[in-house]
Amino acid sequence: MTTLRFDNLILPAADFPKANPLPDIGGRKTEGLPVYSGFTVSSEDPERLAPGSGGARSTLPYQNLDNYNREKRTRGLQSIVLENDYIRAEFVPRLGGRLWSILDKVSGRELLHRNPVFQPANLAILNAWFSGGVEYNCGDIGHTVFTAAPLFVDVLEDEERGPVLRMYEYERIQGTVYQMDFYLPENSHFLMLRVCIHNPNDREVPMYWWSNISVDQRDDVRIIAPTDSYIGYNGQMDLSLKQYPDPDVVGVDPTYPANFKRSKEYFFYIPDEKRHYEAAVGGDGTGFIQTSTARQKGRKMFLWGTHPGGKRWQEYLSVKGSAYIEIQAGLGRSQMELVKMPAGSTFEWTEAYGAFAGDPKKIHGTWDEAKAEVEKQLECLISEEWLNREHEATKALSRKKGKTVLAGSPWGTLERLRRQKAGEADLPEHLCFECNDMTGTAQAMRELVTNGTFPEGSVDGGFMVDTRWLGMMRDCAGGNGKNSIGLHEHLGIAEYYNNNLSAAKAEWDKALELYSLQGQKPGLLTSYCLAVYNSDFDTDGKPSYDYFAEAVVNCPNVAPLAIKTGEKAISQYREADFIELSKSFTSEVLSNGRIMLQLAECYTACGDYDKAKELLLAGAAAADIREGETLLVELWYRIHEAIIRRDEGIPQPKWVNVSEYARMRGSASLSSVEGAIKYDDEMRKKAEELYPLPAALDFRMIV
């Protein structure tokens, strides 16, 4: 018998990430250009967009989730368990519906990499991301905006398949809905997932989906997929097919992830006529396998590598000794491409997750032998014909209404209200999107769509930049809402996002005027947005740093604003000014890891190398270090190159900020910085010998 029940996942966990109050309006395009562009069609795959095209230029309307810590304490995360006699699957709906664990009860093996902790790090579209289990990414390229957000949860019952767990949300960048129906038939050894992505709009949208599956990394694990080629790409997004197993990897078998010192990824090219699957199998012939119907075309392998930086990343995301590989399955063939989704259409497919067992000699024989053995055993476990029949048989189930037990965000509710008022096609009727717990911006937008009014004070808690809301916001700003600071702030953000730049400035000026009439200094949104605009257009002939510094004076206790100001200071060689400004920061702002890192760079620029080193070791490594970011490494050695020169009486070169130095190091570009010396290879080697990089600062992706 299959059961569905609520449970509690108890583990050491950091705080849930908190939202950044600043809108992401820094990605401005030239006025008049659309948000999406470049719908170039591939001759081989007509539904595919050209590499690098179609993506959003901003994280708006979402708020970045960059306020988190590394202080873990024992917590309980509400989970949902689907279980029969063979499989136990556990989900965490509060964290994007993450499939946390699949236990094979027959063998007692955990099939996934089950992270023993919850620890966010800066790897997702909105910053906060965590490793382990299976993550479902829908919308724009990257780790989903719902990584650390709750989803709607419905439960329903199917006579043949038993209880069904449905999780879904309204995705605001594309204006689409995605839905995941999980079920575990009584006698099944495989967890089933039926995915539906609905485009309820009268326009085509670019679409992205990848199911990212984490499995344990061991020396004997081989990744097997039905391919003889992979999709290679360069910095210009030129894609080409290359042979797999990769002949450029010399001396080791690249189908075993543990053979790689550095991080690596492969997008496996699977011909349409082949069955789509990917397996991770150990030396004894047992492991995990994922398969799907053909709509899910892509398969990928990602690994961190076994060098110190790769190991450090894995420990940073989990605990010492943790190691995982990701095998991923996507809607497109690679993650540089989006798929054209026609107006009013639904993309749907079925995935299956389960244990695998095969002949270890064949699994670890030649590449052709390994593929043949996996395909033979997979067909016995879950045949392709049965999977296709099951997908068709569950179509009616996927449109059946369930009972809502947990609510997600309020934005689907608001979109449904807007569509009803505008007489447009509804969101999928079988999905309720009922959310009565509205606060901040969501509450203000419900007031707007229902009554045509808006609260007078500043409003926080999200943004609305959809062009279909602009008319209502403009009408209100010219009438009932003309004295609403909050409306002028939010309308300005929406105008700016949609490249109506002068209109945006006019709205923020109105908000500024209202603050003045009320005898108040400008609030955070007005201060920040005007700093961005004035910085971009140099309205008063001042360096952009000065505009941001003025905003910090208005709002001195907001770490994200201080960080933006630090970025301007470093890029414009105003490090001394930022150090002076930081004396007005609260202790909470000063303890922010990114602020500590920025101040370390500023003290280095100003010649206080000991203070810079102190900050670097005191907590800058706890900053939101980004995958591939080399700033910690370059700053450590830049400090110690300077210390060596100081101690040996060698003149210091003209300062080049470390971010720029890291980018230009070893290139002729350095000569364009007046007075700066080119990269000194001998000095760098000396610094590396005398002052080895501490393991806590080593996040290098390459060796």
User: Is residue 71 classed exposed, middle or buried when 0-12, 13-18 and 19+ CB atoms within 10 A define those classes?
Assistant: exposed
> Which tokens belong to 112?
């996934």
Residue 181: the pLDDT is: 98
Between the alpha carbon of residue 700 and those of residues 53, 189, 312, 595, 601, the distances in Å are: 28, 40, 9, 21, 19
pTM (whole model) above 0.85:
yes
Q: Name 500's Cβ contacts closer than 8 Å, sequence gap at least 6.
A: 31
- DSSP H helices, 583-630, are 587-590, 593-605, 609-618
- Residues forming a β-bridge with 198: 177, 346
Helix, strand and coil content of the chain, in percent to the nearest 5, comes to: 35, 25, 45
Residue 54: the pLDDT is: 60
Q: Name 44's Cβ contacts closer than 8 Å, sequence gap at least 6.
A: none
Domain parsing of the chain, residue ranges: 3-54+79-219+294-354+387-398
Q: Which residue has the tokens 């960059």?
A: 66
The type of residue at 412 is G
Cα separation, 100 vs 89, whole angstroms: 8
Cα separation, 358 vs 346, whole angstroms: 36
Residue 134: the pLDDT is: 98
The type of residue at 244 is Y
Cα separation, 446 vs 449, whole angstroms: 5
- Quickly list DSSP for 308-356: HHHHHHHHHHS-TT--EEEEEEESSSSTT--EEE-TT-EEEEEEEEEEE
Residue 670: the pLDDT is: 39
- Ramachandran sector of residue 639 (left: φ over 0; alpha: ψ -120 to 50; beta: rest): alpha
CATH architecture, range 3-54+79-219+294-354+387-398 = Distorted Sandwich (2.70)
Residue 590: the pLDDT is: 94
Q: Name 15's Cβ contacts closer than 8 Å, sequence gap at least 6.
A: 68, 69, 71
Max distance between CA atoms of the chain, in angstroms, equals 82
Residue spans of the chain under pLDDT 50: 28-43, 664-677
Coil vs helix vs strand at 34? coil
Cα separation, 180 vs 611, whole angstroms: 51
Residue 92: the pLDDT is: 98
- Per DSSP bridges, beta strands 109-110 and 98-104 are antiparallel
Residue 696: the pLDDT is: 85
Cα separation, 436 vs 378, whole angstroms: 46
**What is the helix (H) or strand (E) element at residue 653, kind and residue range?**
none
